[in-house]
Amino acid sequence: MTTIEDVAIIGAGLSGLTLALALHSQSIPCTVYEGRSAPEDIGGAIVLSPNALQILDTLAIYPSIKHEGYECETVVFRTQDDQIIDAYEIGNEEKYGYKALRIYRHIIIRELLRRLSENHIPVHYGKKFLRICAETESQVTWEFSDGSTGRAGSVVGADGIHSRVRQYLYPQVKPRFLGIVAVAATVPSCLVDIPRGYHLPAIIMSPTHPGYIIGSQHPDASEVMLGRQARSVELDRDGWDALIADTRWCIDFLSDGAEGFPPVIRSTVAHIRSDRLNVWPFYVVPRLDGWASDRGRVTILGDAAHAIPPSSGQGANQVFEDVWTYALVRGRGGGAPSGPALRKWSRGRQERIDQLLGFAEEMNRRRMINTSSVEKTYTTCSMTEYLDLEWVFTPDYPQMVQDWLESSGP
């Protein structure tokens, strides 16, 4: 028998699975539905900063994944001749409670699924969401692509940037391509010329070629990731698939001009393998007026509701903030969805997203330093000396939610 407290979560990626665990912590029953036939086990590594790790720690996920990722605290900016000119923090155990953790996405999903299984939270695969059929004062009904239907007290779309749940709230909204494609490769560290004491991760800039980002992966730093961004026209699905499959183009793009970069780049490029490549185009969702229906029974979050530019380093981290604060809001309301409360929640979340967009602009500005005229050292020009990141890394989530709910306005 459906009650107003149960939640149907569409999507079994990071946001959907974490949301299920967060709702369970608030004693709110839920079920996860995923269109894929099996758990996601592909995709590259992501960087988790202290604001997300705080949430995963509360959910008892962090202790089980900490030793499967690479911990770091600072990203440095280097010139093409390998001089450090700037730096910024992505974590700091002493200041924020956690170092940043670079970890493969599938490891987090594995642990989330394990915890959901332990708590008897159902996850159904091969159930591709098609559309919302009806939303009433007491429930939502929807249809799957196989013709079957579902019913629950509320539905949350955690189904990514091409969300079908979002179509119910915003039928005309389409993701917008940013004109940028990222290409990345992973290479065993033993094949890379990494000088003793060389600081990674690093962004290595050039006035004539696209810059590189290079960082260590795995707990023992036994692998490095090398990435670069390219300008691109938008392609259709078949076009993107063809580009991703064009390993020769990917390797050529990563190799172009590498001879003018430091040995760490040249040696990495020399050992790229065609089966260790990843390509993804950057899409964003236009700024939305809200993330929930008037009744509050249909909601979107994560990439379905917003997108954070890669330069902020907060894309995946803000997904965890979405789901955790949503669960706190639902918990404060006794489990039942509330249109007014969720409107305040989405407004508060959007304001924080807007702040982070400003932060991303600052990151972009600092990445465009004129390296030919700047002579600085790591010790005299540390971005962390004058860029306050405490508001990013140590939010008080319960207080944040309380402030949103007590704010004036609808």
pLDDT in tens, 28-44: 999 999 999 998 776 68
pLDDT score, position 86: 87
| Residue partners of 165: CB distance under 8 A and separation at least 6 | 10, 129, 132, 155, 156, 157, 159, 298, 300, 304
Least confident of 91-105, 148-162, 276-290: 276-290
Going by C-alpha positions, the residue among 52, 51, 53, 16 that lies closest to residue 31 is: 16
Going by C-alpha positions, the residue among 53, 155, 20 that lies closest to residue 144 is: 155
pLDDT band at 311 (very low <50, low <70, confident <90, very high): low
- When the pLDDT of each residue in the chain is averaged and rounded to a whole number, the result is 90
**Other C-beta atoms within 10 Å of 407: how many?**
10
Q: Write out pLDDT tens, residues 229-240.
A: 989 999 999 999
Going by C-alpha positions, the residue among 121, 163, 161 that lies closest to residue 10 is: 163
pLDDT score, position 69: 97
pLDDT score, position 365: 60
pLDDT score, position 386: 44
Q: Which CATH number fits domain 177-284: 3.30.9.100, 1.10.150.250, 3.40.50.720, 3.40.50.2020?
A: 3.30.9.100
Least confident of 145-154, 316-325, 379-388: 379-388
CA distance 142 to 155: 9
Going by C-alpha positions, the residue among 85, 45, 98, 363 that lies closest to residue 216 is: 45
For residue 372, pLDDT beyond 80: no
**Other C-beta atoms within 10 Å of 268: how many?**
26
pLDDT score, position 121: 98
Q: Write out pLDDT tens, residues 66-91.
A: 999 999 999 999 999 999 988 889 99
Pairing, β 202-204 against β 74-78: parallel
pLDDT band at 370 (very low <50, low <70, confident <90, very high): very low
Q: What phi-psi label fits residue 218: left (phi over 0), alpha (psi between -120 and 50 degrees) or beta?
A: left
CB-based contact 80:206 (threshold 8 Å): yes
Q: Which CATH number fits domain 7-73+104-175+286-406: 1.10.10.10, 3.90.15.10, 3.50.50.60, 1.10.3720.10?
A: 3.50.50.60
21, amino acid identity: L
DSSP state of 192: S
Which of the pair, 355 or 310, is modelled with greater confidence? Answer: 355
| Residue partners of 147: CB distance under 8 A and separation at least 6 | none
CB-based contact 290:409 (threshold 8 Å): no
Residue with tokens 């508001």: 391
CA distance 70 to 47: 9
**CATH 3.30.9.100, the chain: domain bounds:** 177-284
**CATH 3.50.50.60, the chain: domain bounds:** 7-73+104-175+286-406
**Other C-beta atoms within 10 Å of 376: how many?**
16
pLDDT score, position 366: 56
CA 112 to chain centre: 16
pLDDT band at 13 (very low <50, low <70, confident <90, very high): very high
| Residue partners of 144: CB distance under 8 A and separation at least 6 | 33, 127, 128, 129, 130, 150
Write down the pTM of the prediction.
0.92
CA distance 387 to 383: 6
For residue 362, pLDDT beyond 90: no
Share of the chain above pLDDT 70, in %: 90
